Amino acid sequence: MTSQRRPQHPKRNLLWRPLLAMLGLVAALLLGVSVGRALEDGPSPGGTQTSIRTLKPQPLPPAASTVTVTVTTTSG
């Protein structure tokens, strides 16, 4: 009984490995860029939040005493 062997193509094996490695590196680069852009576009934690309120003035209590100040000027 004779077994036939298929001839191996070393040239074909040599081309696929670097090609697959390069494809993997490009995929990793694109994934890293997309994650970086997503993190950059997201809201920053602890940011400033502005709220605006309108306050109504409270009535003042009546004055207990009044003071009158008189100013005189001398022209000379």
Domain assignment present for 17: yes
Domain assignment present for 29: yes
Q: What is the pLDDT along the chain (76 residues), one digit of tens a residue?
A: 556 776 666 666 678 888 999 999 999 999 999 999 988 887 777 777 889 999 999 998 888 888 889 999 887 6
Q: How far is CA 45 from CA 14, 23, 57, in A?
A: 49, 36, 36
Domain count, the chain: 1
Q: What is the CA radius of gyration of the chain?
A: 42
Task: Provide the domain limits for residue 27.
Answer: 12-37
Q: Is the pTM of this model over 0.85?
A: no
